[in-house]
Structure 1
Amino acid sequence: MTDNARTRPFRTERFKAFVDAVVAIAMTLLILPLLEAVSDAASGDLTTAEFFREHSGQLVSFGLSFLLIAMFWMGHHSQYRDVEWITVPLLWINVAWMATIVWLPVPTAMLGQLDSDALQAVVYIGTLIMTQVTTLAGWLYLRRHPELTTAPPAVLRAGVVGDLAAIILFAIALVIAVFTAPNGYLALFILLLNGPLSRLLNRVMLRREGGSDAEAPPVG
């Protein structure tokens, strides 16, 4: 195989199918600790009510991570919906994104089964930040290589802004979680401010680029 064949862009069909499969597997892995917990509960003659009471932390962590992975997948689908060509650098950006998704079931299991501490918050929310950072890297790459996508510049800018806002809010949530353990994960509700912060950052970016709000799609 020539160097040109290795480096030239390729179509997105297999890439998107592979990403979907990886995300599906990661979401499925989230349930495995709960299945083991059901077996342990049966061995210990626990009632259904006792199971839900004793494993409430696992249930909450499962629901939270399942929702977050679903949101990351929907964001990824939106990001690459108009992308027609994938290059090797963009592929590696997505490999890094998938690594964070596949890793998330591990800190999820920690969150549900171990006592909460500051390091646990760093591992869990830090993973979410890295997922968002790799998503941002994808948007920045597409802005530098607009020939790979049919998305207009305003959409690419909105993607960058949305991810910047999410990274800022995740970082704030991480600081809060570290200093308010064991209940610090409630700080993730700060992500509800993503819309207002995205709109603020979008206005700032438009001013710097000399654009108009009328050119930009809704953000957040």
Structure 2
Amino acid sequence: MSRAEDDPQSVTVETSRPLLSAERLKAFEDAVVAIAMTLLILPLLENVSEFARDDRSALEYVQVEHKQLFSFALSFLIIAVFWMNHHRVFDRVEKATNALIWLQVGWMFTIVWLPVATAMLGSLPDDAMQKLLYIGALLASSLLMLGTRLYLRRHPELHRIAPESLRRGLIAEIVMSCLFAVSLVIAVLVPDIGYAAMFLLLLAGPAQAILARKSGARRT
């Protein structure tokens, strides 16, 4: 019998060790985000080929496909912002546990889903299910990053993020999740407003500043 088998404590330590280096996880996530952003353009490329076969002009293409062009630009920007937010967190994460990996798998799922939801937004008739699939994916992504920050807060051994930075990040994720949730409810229940409800996200900065000041006042 090996020494590890004789010593229960050593077995516990062995099974609790990180399962994957954070560097490999970050590289994998960067690749997934890059692929998702690239996939956003594919429907537009197909439409360009169709217009070319019909000998139609670029101006006609923009006029006809303006909705799909807008949805592409919007989703590209959103994924870019999500990635920058993710990068700011994981730049200082050094180790990855099984639970952290699965949180990131969930986050990557929401990112990979966005090209599909974007294609629906640009091509299919506007309905409640379409809004649920699109804005709901954004809400899920935000909630998974909130869960990630909470997990990192409980496991400081995995990272070198300052507590104050984690606190500000948690406030930001809570605000964004709430705004996505409110936007989703309004978009679904008030069709005349629809995706314009996402302009509520412009309130994120002021709301985060107010909550940060109140949180700081309570701490002092």
Relative to the length of structure 1, the TM-score reads 0.89
Partner of 2:125: 115
1:134 aligns with 2:149: no
C-alpha offsets along residues 196-219 of structure 1, whole Å, 9 cap, x if unaligned? 111233344445xx524xxxxxxx
1:146-194 per-position Cα deviation (integer Å, ceiling 9, x unaligned)? 1211111111111111000001111121122123436521221211111
**For 2:178, which of 139, 147, 168 is the aligned residue?**
168
Displacement after TM superposition at 1:32 (Å): 0.4
Residue in 2 aligned with 1:218? none
5+ residue gaps, structure 2: 1-10
Unmatched runs of 5 consecutive residues or more in structure 1: 213-220
Residue equivalent to 2:77: 67
Partner-residue secondary structure (3-state), 1:104: helix
Deviations 1:9-63 (A, max 9, x none): 2432111111100000000000000011111212233221111111001100000
CA–CA distance in structure 2, aligned partners of residues 185 and 81 of structure 1: 32
The one-letter amino acid of 1:125's match is I
Q: Is 1:211–2:216 an aligned residue pair?
A: no
* Mean Cα deviation higher: 197-206 or 85-94: 197-206
The one-letter amino acid paired with 1:71 is V
Contact map agreement 1:7 1:88 (CA 8 A) in 2: no
Contact 1:116 1:182 (C-alpha < 8 Å) held by counterparts: no
1:102 partnered with 2:112: yes
Contact kept? 2:32, 2:108, Cα under 8 Å: yes
Q: Which amino acid aligns with 2:45?
A: L
CA RMSD of aligned residues (A): 1.8
Name the larger-Rg structure. Answer: 2
Aligned equivalents of 2:22 and 2:142: distance in 1? 21
Q: Identify which range, 183-192 or 31-40, moves more after superposition.
A: 183-192
CA contact (8 A) 1:117 1:182 kept: no
Which residue does the alignment assign to 1:184? 194
Moved over 3 A (4+): 2-7, 203-207
